[in-house]
Amino acid sequence: MRLTRSHVDLPLRVGSEIALPEDVAAHLLRVLRLQLGDACVLFNGDGHDFEARIVHLGKREARAAIVAARRLDNESPLRITLLQGIARGEKMDWILQKATELGVARFVPVSSDRSEVKLDAERTGKRLAHWRGVVIAACEQSGRATVPDVASPQPLEHAVLQRDGHGLILDPFADTPLGALGAADWHACTLAIGPEGGWSPRDRQQLLAAGFDGVRLGPRILRTETAGIAAIAALQALLGDLR
C-alpha cells in the first residue's frame, strides 16, 4: 500500500524524533486515522523520503520517529523555470500544480502590461504563501522530494534578468517549431508564458532584449493555463525525462 507523503519544514535524520506540525498531525491522525505505531512518509525538500512511525499521541502533540531514509532520483535532467504571467484565482493554482507534477524546478510569477491581477503588499504575501502550499501539495501527491522554488511576484523587467539557461516564448508566428529543439543539448531553460491578455508589444520587446527566442507550438492560440503546461510536457518529452 502506498503511504501518504507529508511535507514538514524541519530537519529530518534517521534515529531522531520530531513533533509533527499541527497541520500534518491533523491530516495524518484525524483525516487518515493513523494510530500509534502506524507508518508514514515525511519529506522536507532535501531530496529524500523519510520513513517514520507514530510514537506518541497526546492531546496537543503527536510525535514521529524517523526510521529510514531513501534518496529519490526523480528530478528532470532539464531544469525548467516557468516565468508565468499571474493568472486569476484557480487558474494560477492549476498551473502551479500541473507544472510541479511535470517537473518544473522554479516558478517566477510575473506582472506585465496586460495583467488582470493586481497585488498590493498584503495580498502578495498571502498569495505567495498560498502558491507555495499548492506546490508542496503537488509534490506530496506526485512523489517529488525536491520542492520547486516559488519566487515573489515581480514586474516583468525584473523577472527577465533571472533567465536560467535558454529563454523561450511561445509565438504562433515564430519560424522555429518547438519540436525542432529535440536536437538541442540543454540542461536548463526558462519558459515565458503571458497572462490572460497575453504579452504586450512592450513585454515582448523586453523578453527578446533579454535573450528569449520565440518558438511555435502548433497552429492554435492556447490559453495561459494551457500554454505553459503543454509546452512543459513537450519540452520534457524532447529534452527531459518524459522520453
169 bridge partner residues: 192, 214
- One-letter amino acid for residue 77 of the chain: P
Tell me the three cell numbers of residue 193. Answer: 508564458
What does each of the 243 residues of the chain score in pLDDT, given as a tens digit? 567 899 999 999 999 999 999 999 988 988 888 899 999 999 999 999 999 999 998 877 899 999 999 999 999 999 999 999 999 889 999 999 999 999 999 999 999 888 888 777 778 889 999 999 999 999 999 999 999 999 999 999 999 998 999 999 988 888 999 999 988 899 999 999 999 989 999 999 999 999 999 999 988 889 999 999 999 999 999 999 998
DSSP string, 226-239: HHHHHHHHHHHHHH
Distance CA 56, CA 66 (A): 13
Distance CA 74, CA 22 (A): 29
Distance CA 88, CA 52 (A): 38
CA distances (Å), origin 64, targets 21, 36, 60, 146? 11, 9, 14, 21
> Does the predicted model carry a pTM greater than 0.85?
yes
203 Cβ contact partners less than 8 Å away, ≥ 6 residues apart: 112, 113, 114, 156, 194
